[in-house]
Amino acid sequence: NPFTPLDISHVCRDWRSIAFSAPELWSSIYVADGQPSTVHLLRLWLQNSGSRPLDLVFRDTPGVTSGDISRSNTIVEMLKVAAAHSKRWRSFKVRLRRGRLWMKDVMEALSGIETPLLETLALGPQFSAVWIRALITGSPQLQELQMWSTMDRSKDFLLAVPFHRLTTITLTMVAFQRDSLFLNSLRRCEVLETLTISLNDGSYWGALQPPSSSDAAVSIPSLRHFNLIGTSHICDLLQNLHLPSLISFSLHTRYYDTQTNAGHLRNDVYMALEDLFTRSQCHLRSFKIRDEKEGGFEGRLLSILHHPALRDLGELRVGSIVGERALEWLGGGDRTSTPPSTHTHTPFQDLKHIHLEAFAVDPKILSAPVVAMIGLRIRGTGLVAKLRCLTVGFLSETQLIYETRAWNGLVADRGGLGVDKVFYFASNAERARRLRSEFLYRDFSLIQGW
């Protein structure tokens, strides 16, 4: 075509030349399952990466490698190939499901490795504590650690973990025991900024207990970001922590409101959360919450939003269903739900990001309460000027249409608001998709069958 300024063959030729001359493009490798032909591709990829530090992820998918000996052997072979480049590893993550591989072969494939540059390590529960301890000890640059099913390790193992230089710890499907050695080892953390925990909520003997006093709680002064998933054991964990520098908190839970649990700090996650905030005297900038017990959730949410620790929020994300009461609070505060406040500080005056994943309204009332909330912030103190992002998932397509029209009208009246607005229909499929992505963290899911 004489009017086309580019010849596609030239583009492909130039891109190939650029790609093969840039080793950094080949230094991040993610291997899922793998087929026999993948081994050759891995060798080529590693060859093209030159001498660059390597970020490697190996995982097998449930149901794919199960019972397939050839695929299992392929993963072992790929680990052997990667082991030859261990001196270049910057991050090494392996998640092999139970019973899917012979760990003896895996351990042999990884024997004799040297990891002087390793900064990030993620290992599944099948690896022996002795081998992991040796790997950690031989990794002087290690800063990030991710482990699965971490029951309390031995004292010798924990002494080998360089808690003093870890910046990120991720514990997936873990269970803390009474007088937890692992939890107490967190006292040694000096630069830990991000802690992510998903709890194994099955019943087991010797579970974690509340501390004897608030002074006995594990203090992590450097921690700024805390992500937590769990149900029945969350309260005991929260009572065992003191996080004075916390600025970001993400919670996924399921509230239990049986008569026996009501009003008890050990059973009410919202009471335990307020207790943590009060004890820590922290000031959150980001708060994300999802409660699988959606009945009565809005009232529980508003209760926690009144806590002084959330007064300076810049980001609020709510995964459960909310309605007009929550919007009233976001528009300036629901003063009727709590005793009058003695302070003059306007709640959420610094709010920049609002994300409501499931908004529901009475279908008989044809209005646009989300846009009305924005209008209240404009008429109140000009707080909308600080709002940068508004994302709302509507459970009703009709409501989505009303809100979109109202938003367009507001923009037409007041000009550009400077807000990145996303309105979408929160169908069951869409909510499920967003939930799955929420559980994905640093290459892996934080849950197993939950």
| Residue 63: predicted pLDDT | 57
Average pLDDT over residues 271-296: 95
Q: What is the mean pLDDT of residues 237-249?
A: 97
Q: Which CA distances in Å does 219 have to 188, 189, 190, 245, 249?
A: 9, 9, 11, 10, 16
Residue 135 and residue 112 in contact, taking contact as beta carbons nearer than 8 Å: no
Residue 151: predicted pLDDT:
61
Report the alpha-carbon distance of residue 114 to residue 329 in Å, rounded: 56
Q: Are 184 and 159 in contact (CB under 8 A)?
A: no
Q: What residues contact 305, with CB distance under 8 A and at least 6 apart?
A: 329, 347
* CA–CA gap between residue 268 and residue 53 (Å, rounded): 46
* Band of pLDDT at residue 287, cut at 50, 70 and 90: very high
The highest-confidence range among 12-16, 114-118, 172-176, 376-380, by mean pLDDT, is 114-118
> Rounded distance, CA 322 to CA 259, Å?
24
Q: What is the pLDDT of the chain when averaged over all its residues?
A: 86
Using the predicted structure, report yes or no on whether residue 276 has a pLDDT greater than 80. Answer: yes
Confidence of residue 54 (pLDDT cuts 50, 70, 90): very high
Mean pLDDT, residues 224-240: 93
Nearest 5°: phi and psi at 286?
A: -135, 130
Within 10 Å of residue 247's Cβ, how many Cβ atoms? Answer: 18
Phi, psi angles (nearest 5°) of residue 273: -65, -45
pLDDT of 383 reads: 53
